[in-house]
Structure 1
Amino acid sequence: MLKLLITRPLPERVVAACEGFDVTVRADVLPMSGDEMRASLRDYDVVLPTLRDMYSAEVFADVTAPRCKLLANFGVGYNHIDVVAARAAGIEVTNTPGAVTDATADIAMTLMLMVTRRAGEGERLVRSGAWTGWHPTQLLGMHLSGKRVGVLGMGRIGQAIARRCHYGFDMAVHYCSRSPKEAVMETTWHASPAELAAAVDVLVVAVPGGAETRHLVDAEVLQALGPQSYLVNIARGDVVDEAALIAALEAGEIAGAGLDVYEYEPEVPEVLLQRDDVVLLPHLGTAALEVREAMGLVAVENVCAFLDGRELPNRV
């Protein structure tokens, strides 16, 4: 019987779908230690890891002839796994695209509305007991409808964000990707992140994580965005140079930011915690039961395909 390790607690429906395997569900909600990851490669046929289980090249190098032959990642992002090193060790890697698209796009819209309409500030004001009632100039923000959105990364999630912005809020869609893409709505392509930032009112980061996109949003991009515009990041934390973001906020070079991810997650710089012009969410991108179930079932399907000797549906 295939021996499977699930590295974090998952919804009951997902665990139940694994009933044909010898399953161990690790009870800890925190990421695995290096020793735990090395043991997982030695002791299990398949591991179902997730965000912040850092399967680095060093981890793979320390385990000769690993028993594990598949890392069935729970999540679309897999920059916590050194895929090249995994393959060199004879281990395949899969992910769960598609299942996360709409939920992550919804969180992008949540952050866009919260930061432009100052909803976080307003909620804190009410909770503080200091609210004295409505008046005409209280917490004036930016009206999102009809504005220009810039989508950095026009993959599945980027396109879902673009659709919501255009059809839901009548926004003009600008985007940056390696090459222009066909779209069902009118769009404007930009050749660089800085060029995109200079053209929009809200810049939404939706690129994959990894070495190629680390600090893609840097001081130049933030300066191009300008003092009346906002940054939203629902991708990976290190796509945004966090130090440059803090400097831009403190200098008034951008109007505000909405963040669901952080460069050194779960650490959030104190200066961001103290700023009213920043909305901070605890990585809620896919945090809906039906979405997490769907992600888990895609991961299990990858495991089943591996067991049956079929082509892996979501090989990365």
Structure 2
Amino acid sequence: MSDSIHLLTLVPLPAEFIAVLAARYTLMHAPAGPEEARTVQAVLTNGSTGLSAAQMAALPALRLVHAFGAGYEAIDLAAARSRGVIVSHAPGANDATVADHAMALLLAVSRGLVPVDRAVKAGGWEGSRAARPTLNGRRLGIVGMGLIGQKIARRAEAFDMQVAYHTRQPRLELPYAHHRSLLALAEASDCLVLACPGGAVTRHIVNREVLRALGPKGFLVNIARGSVVHTGDLIAALQAGEIAGAGLDVLEDEPEVPAELAAMDQVVLTPHMAGRSPEAQRAQLERLMAAVDAVLVAGGVPANVVS
């Protein structure tokens, strides 16, 4: 145990992880009072919660900010650099779990599994046996082709899907077709999966025009960030039948769920849990402890430094 290391957590953790961290460090949970804040040396956050310049200024002893996952878009990197604070994250720790969840959402929304399950349980066996689209042979467009996007692509190949993607620069080492514009990718896709980073660059890149390009038989899956999709445009497109359905693990104003989305049978919602599995969370915990120990015990630099 190292009582001299004060770790502040801004994100919820399983009870067993809290016990592990409390045995190694002096563990604090947000919000921290003024006295506690002065002692904080490391902060655990995530991409959507982040850490602002003002928050960092209130933590004079801060030396490390660690994102409990791959995303770090809401951490003020410029403020961290100016204060000499190291920022690290955990890419790859939960990418397989996220990719699995993306395929689960795609299957659920295309096959209509949630409303069919309800119908069968209510005694509507015969009335619920409508034909539903299969993934086999469909065209899958992936927005973002990092570790998660690549794992989604490999899973899709097992369904004999035709994979294409959109990124700012093509990944020439990959065998998939690259589209320079998101609109072109949507037009060439039956299913569109969002696996890109959040932040200002990708805010609302999926709008009404993109959804119309995806078309009335198209399905949208978002396991990226809620900010990537313009929620009003998505609701309007679903209501107008401009796309066939959506599977959403993330929402713009989560945990608030728009009533319009909650009422739609063609929408499957999960509570930002795509990356959560026991194995993934254990890997993320190990990355956190390694980062804290590297900076605050060994006085070095952790793996996966962002800034």
Task: Indicate the larger mover: 274-283 or 42-51.
Answer: 42-51
Name 1:309's counterpart in structure 2: 299
Q: CA deviation at 1:14?
A: 7.0
Shift of the 15–52 alpha-carbon distance from structure 1 to 2, 3 Å rule, reads farther
Q: Supply the distance in 1 between the matched residues of 2:250 and 2:138 (Cα, whole angstroms).
A: 24
Name 1:233's counterpart in structure 2: 222
Q: CA deviation at 1:15?
A: 4.5
Name 2:43's counterpart in structure 1: 47
Unaligned runs of 5+ in 2: none
Q: CA deviation at 1:12?
A: 2.4
Does the CA contact (< 8 Å) of 2:166 and 2:182 recur in 1?
A: yes
Alignment coverage as a number of residue pairs: 301
Normalized against structure 1, the TM-score is what? 0.88
Secondary structure, counterpart of 2:38 in structure 1: helix
Name 2:149's counterpart in structure 1: 158
Residues 1-316 of structure 1 aligned to structure 2 (within 5 Å): 1-7=4-10, 8-10=12-14, 12=16, 15-16=19-20, 19-21=23-25, 23-26=26-29, 32=30, 36=32, 41-50=37-46, 52-61=48-57, 63=58, 66-127=60-121, 129=122, 131-134=123-126, 138-166=129-157, 168-183=158-173, 186-307=175-296, 308-316=298-306
Q: Supply the distance in 2 between the matched residues of 1:38 and 1:219 (Cα, whole angstroms).
A: 46
Q: Supply the distance in 2 between the matched residues of 1:288 and 1:299 (Cα, whole angstroms).
A: 16
Normalized against structure 2, the TM-score is what? 0.91
Q: Supply the distance in 2 between the matched residues of 1:40 and 1:275 (Cα, whole angstroms).
A: 46
Deviations 1:46-92 (A, max 9, x none): 1222355342233335x3x7111111221211223222222223322
Q: Alignment identity in percent?
A: 42
Q: CA deviation at 1:17?
A: 6.1
Secondary structure, counterpart of 2:72 in structure 1: coil
Does the CA contact (< 8 Å) of 1:71 and 1:91 recur in 2?
A: yes
Q: Supply the distance in 1 between the matched residues of 2:202 and 2:233 (Cα, whole angstroms).
A: 15
Amino acid aligned to 2:20: A
Does the CA contact (< 8 Å) of 2:248 and 2:268 recur in 1?
A: yes
Secondary structure, counterpart of 1:220 in structure 2: helix
Q: Supply the distance in 2 between the matched residues of 1:266 and 1:260 (Cα, whole angstroms).
A: 11
Deviations 1:233-286 (A, max 9, x none): 000000111111111111111111000000111111000000011010111212
Deviations 1:165-211 (A, max 9, x none): 01x10111110011221355x41110011110000110000001111
Name 1:29's counterpart in structure 2: none
